[in-house]
Structure formats: structure tokens, C-alpha cells
Amino acid sequence: MKQITGEHLWKSYGGVEVLRDVSLTVTEGEPVCLMAPSGAGKTTLLRILMGLERPDRGKVTAPPGCRWAAVFQEDRLLEHLDAMGNLRFALGPALEAERARTLLEELGLGEAGTKQVRDYSGGMKRRLALARALLAPSDALALDEPFTGLDGDSRLRCLAAVERLAAGRVLLLASHSADDALALGARVEALRGN
């Protein structure tokens, strides 16, 4: 069973403390939802657990060769490409075209066709960023406010896709919504703001 642990993590930027002695364990099959006010360190904690940043103190333990897929707060899409072009660029040979088309349809992006991402609404971009993360071969998923800007129907579609496709992976979600945690059966971990 895959497990990722952060032990006594501290992080400051320019003398401003963002994380203070945070410990967290996330296990495959037991999603965790980080909840805290903006600026309390949710994104920083995700980045440290993914290995994108180093803590000032503390350590992260993950399975050897642990592969992460992520939805960042910014969509990080290639605006001049369509949905499949973005997925092809990000996933390379790991892209299974039929599986990707099925997921895009499920997320309400099937009608987007060959439309360039620059012409997508904010919610469409968010759903494409989520599709990219869900389709990527990975051991762990970090989803940073993945449902921001989505209407009720789109949010439900995305939650259902995450629940189904996160199976067998470690799932860590940062959200302001207790409803997201409840829908995914996630354990809520509250970060205290500094």
C-alpha cells in the first residue's frame, strides 16, 4: 500500500513563516483534504510533498520512484492547442486516445472538439487540467483547488471522475469546501494559519 508522510515540516519565505511543524500521512485508498484559509500553506505543503520545494526543517518519506500528477492553482495549459493536443503534449506516449476522449466527454468537454484552449471558458480550462492529471500515469495525485470556478453540474462530474480514477493512488486535495471532502470520503486535515 502506497503511503506518503511529511514529518515536522517547517517552511518560511523571506522571514514569513508559512508552515510550522506540520505532520501528515496520506495513504492509498484514504484521501486527505487539506482545509485552511488562503495563505495558510496548503499549496506550499503540496509542493513540498511532491518534491517541488524543500522544507526548512522536517522530512518527507515516499515510496521510491513515486510519480505525482497534479492540478495546480493555475491551469498551465497550452493555449494554442486543443484538448487532445494538450493531453498529447503532457502525456506523450502514455496517452490512450480513446480513454482520453471518454474522460473529456464525461467532464463535459466532448463538444469542444478542435477548439483552441484560448477560446475555453475558465471552467472548461479547469476541467481539462483535471483530465490531464487523472490520465497521467502516477502513484499519487495532488489537486490544488481543482473545482474552482465550476458550476454545480461540472463539479459533480469532476468529483465522480476523481473518485473513480484516483483508485489505487494516494489522493491529496486542497480545498475550501467541506462538501468536496465529504463527496470524496476524504479525511479533513486543517492547517492553522500563521
| pLDDT tens sequence across 89-103 | 999 999 999 999 999
pTM of the model: 0.93
Decide if 10 contacts 26 (C-beta within 8 A): no
What domains appear along the chain, each with residue ranges and CATH number?
3-190 (3.40.50.300)
Q: State the DSSP string of 80-137.
A: TS-HHHHHHHHHGGG--HHHHHHHHHHTT-GGGTT--GGGS-HHHHHHHHHHHHHHS-
Tell me which H or E stretch contains 163.
Answer: helix 152-165
137-152 pLDDT tens trace: 999 999 999 999 899 9
pLDDT tops 80 at residue 113: no
pLDDT tops 90 at residue 112: no
Note the pLDDT of residue 58.
Answer: 98
57-61: strand order across its sheet: 16-27, 3-13, 57-61
Report the chain's mean pLDDT, rounded to a whole number.
94
| C-alpha grid cell, residue 140 | 499519487
Q: At what angle do helices 152-165 and 97-106 cross, to 10 degrees?
A: 140
Q: How confident is the model at residue 177 (pLDDT cuts 50, 70, 90)?
A: confident
Q: Which position has the grid cell 484538448?
A: 83
Q: How confident is the model at residue 40 (pLDDT cuts 50, 70, 90)?
A: confident
DSSP label of 151: -
Pick 43 or 194 by higher pLDDT: 43
18-33 pLDDT tens trace: 999 999 999 999 999 9
Note the pLDDT of residue 133.
Answer: 97
Decide if 92 contacts 54 (C-beta within 8 A): no
Note the pLDDT of residue 157.
Answer: 95
